[in-house]
Structure 1
Amino acid sequence: MANGGFPFQMPMLTKNNYDNLSIKMKALLGAQDVWDIVEKGFNEQDEALLSQCVKETLRESRKRDKKALFLIYQSVDEDTFEKISNATTTKEAWDKLQTCNKGVEQVKKICLQTLRGNFERLFMEESESILDYFYRVLAVVNQLKRNGEDVDEVKVMEKILRTLNPSFDFIVTNIEENKDLKTMTIEQLMGSLQAVVHCWMRNKKE
């Protein structure tokens, strides 16, 4: 039985998936009947002052809390574990995890908004080569992907064709009439554009 005796695959926290992991962990902890103790916590008390019935309830709460804490530990890497390892209850560990990652998520959202704006403002400069413009577009696209954006290659190719400088209008028309972008890759589009430009330049020289 994998995962420390639990017969299921533990979701793992990454740099980009806190929101999704939070949803999965709430479901998993709920299925293990310990989410309420993560959400609300419990009050530690001195057993010497308690009745036998309350002692048993307290011990059960401690046991459920440790079970929930163990499950959370299984879903984080060593660096994140260090951030929450000094928590004395699962609620405290969960709150710390949320505080750390919500800040990261907010930064990521701001970064994505900036990158989307950069992508929308991309236009080929007059003196820029096809190859240089492709590399400039792909640099922004790769940054979007690294920040968790799902980038549609067809939209990227449409963006490139739409923003080439006007001297390439005839090339764009030729590609749009004879090529299906849905069956092409960005690399194939770049190759087609370069081939047409090379042919065009050679004809001009002749």
Structure 2
Amino acid sequence: MIQPQILRLTKTNYGNWSIQMKALLGSQDCWDMVIKEYVKPENAAAEAALTNEEKRALRDARKRDQRALYYIFQAVDESNFEKIAETTTVKQAWETLQKSLQGVEKAKKVRLQSLRAEFEMLKMKTTESIDDYVSRVKAVENEMKRNGEALGVVRVMEKILHH
């Protein structure tokens, strides 16, 4: 198996990291483990009572959950690893990182206010190429999306064409 190149999560790149990890976990058939948590049987007797098909499905879910957790462990720096070292499922690890790095709703709202202002103030510099300006506009738009606000294609195109 070829080890995919994984972006390392730091304190400042959660937005891009989460997009890349969703794609990676999706490509490894593991993203659904983040969405719906792997549920362990209550005890050995409960597991023994499962049908062979249920046992096979349980083993598959356990394996996919642990594979996804492994990828996340590989993709975090030391300080973020400490936050998730005790988690036992990928869903727990993902939510822990999301809460600690994406921030609470109030911080998100403040961030969106500044992004809105930044978007409105964007103007093409006289020495800037069109490609560079479009890249700056798209970077702000993408950051706004990651924080829960979609501008819409028309609004972005108006911004690009207006300046």
| Alignment TM-score, normalising by the size of structure 1 | 0.49
> Is the counterpart of residue 14 in structure 1 residue 10 in structure 2?
yes
Determine if contact 2:10/2:80 at 8 Å carries over to the other structure: no
Count of paired positions = 120
RMSD over aligned CA atoms reads 3.0
Distance 2:32 2:100 in 1: 22
Match of 2:95 in 1: 95
Match of 2:23 in 1: 27
Instruction: Evaluate the alpha carbon distance shift between residue 105 and residue 71 of structure 1 in structure 2; reply closer, same or farther with a 3 A threshold.
Output: farther
> Is the counterpart of residue 78 in structure 1 residue 78 in structure 2?
yes
**Residue deviations 1:26-82 (CA, integer Å, cap 9, x gap):** 001000010011111122114222122211110111011000000001110111011
Instruction: Evaluate the alpha carbon distance shift between residue 101 and residue 6 of structure 1 in structure 2; reply closer, same or farther with a 3 A threshold.
Output: farther
Runs of 4+ residues deviating >3 angstroms: 104-113
Letter in 1 for 2:68: A
Letter in 2 for 1:27: A
| Alignment TM-score, normalising by the size of structure 2 | 0.61
Distance 1:21 1:71 in 2: 12
Larger relative CO (CA 8 A, sep 6+): 1 or 2? 2
- Greater helix share, structure number: 1
Structure 1 gaps of 5+ residues are 121-150, 156-180, 184-206
Structure 2 gaps of 5+ residues are 129-163
Give runs of aligned pairs for residues 1-206 of structure 1, distance below 5 A.
6-45=2-41, 46=43, 47-103=47-103, 107=107, 110=110, 113=114, 182=127
